[in-house]
């Protein structure tokens, strides 16, 4: 190996690994990693500050893009968005957790396949709408849910959004990964159009939908097995007479 290669900048990798293992603030970890890497590469202080300033100027609108939807979602939640979602889904007698998440999975994949990846997501869709609706569908059938089941439903809602987005966007012809793959293949002498790569993503997306839909159907059976016996029985005429007496 050549002796003139400076390996000290790789200290930044160790810093970022240690920071995430110790669960420090991610923003702080990234900033410290950048500074450590720059000093290890013998960057002068003015060059480090110039690089940080240039990056800040290029991304100064990013906090607004991230924080504005969160503020809107928070305002809607304060006015009962989660409660309205739970009440609405509980009025649909045929709704189960699995059926609800399967419908969302299909919608998420289809919208991501045409490039509408921002229509879903954990902060703007899963937390305020999808997870409360899943909990509402389960409570309508089985009554009050234990915390273990409630957390499991939230995890399945988040996983459904992830699967739908991940495998749906692979079909979108302008997806960054498709552009990267076609560029790499062309540099290797293999000429291929992005549309062909996108079309070959359809079988994978179909398999992902079927496999995750099967898991969601198993979730319904698990809920029925664990909570079906705990559901309150409907009141009979004798019960009403006893209460009246």
State the pLDDT at residue 79: 62
pTM summary value: 0.65
Same domain flag for 155 and 214: yes
Q: Looking at residues 102-115, what average pLDDT do you find? A: 92
Same domain flag for 95 and 174: yes
Same domain flag for 56 and 147: no
Same domain flag for 87 and 42: no
Crossing angle for the helix pair 147-168 and 131-142, to the nearest 10 degrees: 140
Residue 238 within any structural domain of the chain: no
Residue 44 within any structural domain of the chain: yes
pLDDT for residue 204 is more than 80:
yes
State the pLDDT at residue 87: 74
Q: Which residues of 79-115 are buried (b: 16+ CB within 10 A; e: fewer)?
A: eebbeebbeebbeeeebbbbbbbbebbeebbebbbee
Same domain flag for 124 and 183: yes
pLDDT category at 78 given cuts 50, 70, 90 is low
State the pLDDT at residue 61: 55
- State how far the Cα of 109 lies from the Cα of 171, in Å rounded to an integer: 9
Same domain flag for 115 and 170: yes
Residue 26 within any structural domain of the chain: yes
Q: Looking at residues 153-174, what average pLDDT do you find? A: 91
State the pLDDT at residue 161: 94
State the pLDDT at residue 70: 60
State the pLDDT at residue 239: 43
Residue 245 within any structural domain of the chain: no
State the pLDDT at residue 229: 64
Q: Looking at residues 151-179, what average pLDDT do you find? A: 89
pLDDT for residue 63 is more than 60:
no
Residue 3 within any structural domain of the chain: no
Round the average pLDDT of the chain to a whole number and report it: 80
Across 72-81, 137-146, 155-164, 167-176, the highest mean pLDDT is recorded for 155-164
Same domain flag for 92 and 182: yes
State the pLDDT at residue 109: 94
Same domain flag for 53 and 73: no
State the pLDDT at residue 227: 83
Residue range(s) defining the domain that contains residue 56: 8-62
State the pLDDT at residue 8: 79
Same domain flag for 44 and 93: no
Which own/partner pairs from 95-98 qualify as long-range (CB within 8 Å, at least 24 positions apart)? Answer: 95/137, 95/140, 96/137, 96/141, 96/220, 96/223, 97/134, 97/137, 97/138, 97/153, 97/156, 97/216, 97/219, 97/220, 97/223, 98/216, 98/217, 98/218, 98/219, 98/220
- State how far the Cα of 153 lies from the Cα of 8, in Å rounded to an integer: 46
Same domain flag for 75 and 160: yes
Work out the angle at residue 21's Cα, subtended by the Cα atoms of residues 18 and 24, and round it to the nearest 5 degrees: 85
Same domain flag for 106 and 52: no
Same domain flag for 87 and 15: no
Residue 30 within any structural domain of the chain: yes
Contact (CB, 8 A) for 185 and 192: yes
Percent of the chain with pLDDT over 70: 78
Residue 244 within any structural domain of the chain: no
Residue 241 within any structural domain of the chain: no
Domain count along the chain: 2
């Amino acid at each position: 190996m050549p002796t003139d290669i400076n390996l000290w900048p790789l200290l930044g990798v160790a810093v970022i690994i240690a920071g995430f293992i110790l669960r420090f603030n991610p923003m702080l970890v990234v900033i410290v990693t950048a500074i450590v890497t720059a000093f290890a590469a013998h960057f002068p202080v003015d060059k480090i500050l110039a690089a940080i300033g240039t990056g800040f100027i290029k991304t100064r609108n990013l906090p607004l893009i991230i924080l504005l939807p969160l503020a809107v979602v928070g305002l809607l939640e304060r006015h009962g968005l989660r409660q309205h979602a739970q009440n609405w889904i509980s009025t649909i007698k045929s709704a189960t957790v699995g059926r609800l998440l399967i419908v969302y999975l299909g919608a998420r994949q289809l919208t991501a396949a045409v490039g509408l990846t921002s229509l879903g997501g954990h902060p703007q869709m899963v937390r305020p709408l999808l997870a409360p609706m899943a909990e509402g569908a389960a409570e309508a059938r089985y009554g009050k849910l234990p915390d273990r089941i409630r957390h499991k439903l939230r995890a399945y809602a988040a996983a459904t959004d992830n699967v739908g987005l991940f495998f749906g966007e692979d079909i979108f012809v302008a997806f960054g990964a498709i552009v990267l793959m076609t560029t790499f293949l062309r540099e290797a002498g293999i000429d291929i159009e992005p549309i062909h790569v996108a079309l070959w993503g359809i079988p994978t997306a179909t398999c992902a939908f079927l496999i995750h839909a099967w898991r969601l159907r198993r979730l319904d059976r698990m809920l029925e097995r664990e909570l079906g016996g705990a559901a309150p029985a409907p009141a009979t005429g004798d019960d009403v007479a006893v209460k009246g007496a």
